Amino acid sequence: MEVNLLGLLVDAGLCVLAWMVQRIVYPGFLEYSLVDLQRWHYKYTPRITGIVAPLMLTQLALSVYHVIREPNGFAIGAIILVLGIWLVTFLFFVPLHQRIEKGEIHRLDLDRLIRLSWLRTLPWTLVLLLDLFNFLNLS
């Protein structure tokens, strides 16, 4: 598969996933009692990680590839957004999810999780738009 098409598919997958998490998954966490959320989260985390991790790693690798191979404004903009997503993931989301696993989460933390999720949803949307625009210009 051509590398630009693969990148577009990965970016589209992460964008759709981010919007689903933003609008469905994280707000759904509020529907659980904190004990039930902890139980569900134990099952949810490896399942979602099995989908998200390969996509994120592929996106990162392709972003690096594009910056090295064709260092244009699209590639540079995309890698800045992708690295920002990784940064907020490890600074904010990993600790919040670890607190859920330990049963140390409160409703306000869940509200924060939903609000902070925009820090990934919007950049992933921008990455897709940049990649789509670049893909259409290269075709």
Evaluated on CA atoms 77, 82, 88, 90, the torsion sign reads: negative
Residue 138's pLDDT is: 67
Residue 136's pLDDT is: 87
Rounded distance between C-alpha atoms, residue 130 and residue 124, angstroms:
10
Rounded distance between C-alpha atoms, residue 57 and residue 40, angstroms:
25
Rounded distance between C-alpha atoms, residue 38 and residue 73, angstroms:
43
Residue 135's pLDDT is: 82
Within the chain, which residues score under 70 in pLDDT? Answer: 1, 138-139
Q: Write out the residue range of the structural domain in which residue 101 sits.
A: 3-138
Judge whether 46 and 109 are in contact, CB under 8 Å: no
Residue 24's pLDDT is: 98
Judge whether 137 and 98 are in contact, CB under 8 Å: no
Give the CA distances from residue 115 to residues 9, 22, 34, in Å, rounded to whole numbers and listed in that order.
Answer: 26, 9, 19
Residue 70's pLDDT is: 85
User: 7: exposed, middle or buried (C-beta count within 10 Å: 0-12, 13-18, 19+)?
Assistant: buried
Domain count, the chain: 1
Residue 134's pLDDT is: 83
Give the CA distances from residue 130 to residues 17, 28, 56, in Å, rounded to whole numbers and listed in that order.
Answer: 17, 30, 17
The pair of structure tokens assigned to 124 is 């992933």
DSSP state at residue 31:
T
